[in-house]
Structure 1
Amino acid sequence: MKKILLFLVMIACSGALYAQRPAAADYDSEKLQAAKIAFLTQKLDLQPDQATEFWPLYNKFDEERRGYFKQMRGKEKVEVETLTNEEAKKLIENKFKMQQGLLDLEKDFTWKIAKILSAKQAYMLQEADRDFVRHLYKMNRQHGPGPR
C-alpha cells in the first residue's frame, strides 16, 4: 500500500512538473523536491523511521554538493592561447582540490547514511539519484522545450 501511495505521489508530482512547461528559470522547486523525495523513497524502499533521519542528512549533503558544482562551473573560462604553464598548473591543482572536496563530502555522507539505511540502500542511492535525473530528462524530451 505504501509503495502504491508513493508511486501515485511521484506520478502526480512529475506530471505537475511538466504539465505547463515553464521556462527553465521558472520551475517549481517545491514540486521538483517533492517528486525527488517520492522517487528516491520508492527506489530505496525507505521505511518511515529511516526517512525521518535520512532526509535531513541528504538535503544538507545535496546543498553542499550543489555548492561544489556551482564552484566548478563558476570558474572563469581561460584563454588557452595566453595561458602560462604556471597558471595551468594552478588551475589543475584547484580542479583536483575541488574534486577531492566533493569526494570527501560524498564519502562522509555515505558512511553517515550507512548507519541509518542498510548498506545496500546506501549503495543504491547514487544510482537512484541518477535515475531521477534521467527521468527528468526523459520527461523534458517527451514534452518538448516549452514556451520561452
Structure 2
Amino acid sequence: MKIKNVLPIFLFLITLPFYAQNEKMDEKREKIKAYKVFFLTTELELTSTESEKFWPIYNAYDDKQFELRHQKMKSYTKKINDESFKSMSEKDAATLLSQMESTDEELYLLRKKYMTNLKKILPAKKIIILRKSEDDFNRKLLHQYRDKAGKN
C-alpha cells in the first residue's frame, strides 16, 4: 500500500483520540509540529535563504491542509461512524459523497499550488527529499503511536 493512501488514515488515527480534549489536542499537535520542523530542517539542509522562503509557504500549506482534513473530514466521519448512515437515503448519501469529493479536490488543488510555490524556491532534488522526509516522519510518528498504544 502506498504512503499517500495510508497518510489520511494515519492522520485520522493520530487525531482521533484527541478530539475529546481540544486543549490537549492543540498541545500535542504543537509538539508534533515542532518535532516535524526539527526533522525536516535536518533532512532538507536548507540554506538560510531557502529556509526564510520555505517555512512560511510550508506552514501555510500545512495549516490549510490540517483545517480541510480536520474540519470537513471530521463532519463526514461523524456521519459515517454514526449508525444512522445505514438508514441514509440515496440522495443524502450522494450529497455526502459529493461533499467528500469536493474536499478531496480542494486538497488536490492546495497541494498543486503548494508544489508550484515550492518549485520557485527549492531545487527539484530538495522537493523530492522533502516528500520522502515527510513520509519518513509520518512513518516514525505512526510507529511511536503504535508503540505507545501497545504499552497501554
Q: What is the Cα deviation at residue 60 of structure 1?
A: 0.6
TM-score by length of 1: 0.71
Deviation at 1:48, TM superposition (A): 1.6
Deviates more, 1:124-133 or 1:96-105: 124-133
**Residue in 1 aligned with 2:54?**
54
Give the Å deviation of 1:138.
2.6
5+ residue gaps, structure 1? 1-22
Matches within 5 A, 1:1-148: 25=24, 27=27, 29-70=29-70, 71-75=72-76, 76-78=78-80, 79-142=84-147, 144-145=148-149
Bigger mean CA deviation after superposition, 125-134 or 64-73? 125-134
User: Identical aligned pairs, as a percentage?
Assistant: 27
- Count of aligned pairs between the two proteins: 125
Distance 1:146 1:53 in 2: 40
Distance across 2 between alignment mates of 1:32 and 1:81: 36
Q: CA deviation at 1:92?
A: 1.2
Deviation at 1:87, TM superposition (A): 1.1
| Distance verdict in 2 for CA 1:31–1:96, change over 3 Å | closer
Tell me which stretches of 4 or more aligned residues in structure 1 moved more than 4 Å. Answer: 26-31, 145-148
Give, in angstroms, the shift of residue 41 of structure 1: 1.5
The CA deviation at 1:130 is 2.1
The higher radius of gyration belongs to 1
Which residue is 1:20 aligned to? none
